[in-house]
């Protein structure tokens, strides 16, 4: 079970690490959802992989 503190920490980690990376990733690969709808699931897939890694850390 996640404690409230862990969830708070988890939110900070997401805010600091994941979102800046996603912005750079989207800029670098010039991903525009309207132009390239096939790329969206790829981005979200990488997000879900990252989230799973973080959740496995917190589950210990």
**pLDDT tens-digit series, residues 1-59:** 556 666 666 666 666 666 655 666 666 655 555 555 554 555 556 666 766 766 665 55
Cβ distance 1 to 49 under 8 Å?
A: no
Instruction: Work out the pLDDT band at 60, boundaries 50, 70, 90.
Output: very low
C-alpha–C-alpha distance, residues 4 and 24, integer Å: 30
Question: What local confidence, expressed as pLDDT, does residue 53 receive?
Answer: 67
């Amino acid at each position: 079970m996640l404690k409230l503190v862990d969830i708070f920490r988890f939110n900070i980690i997401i805010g600091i690490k994941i979102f800046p990376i996603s912005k750079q990733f989207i800029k670098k690969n010039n991903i525009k959802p309207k132009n390239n709808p096939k790329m969206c699931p790829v981005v979200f897939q990488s997000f879900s992989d990252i989230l799973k890694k973080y959740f496995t850390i917190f589950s210990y």
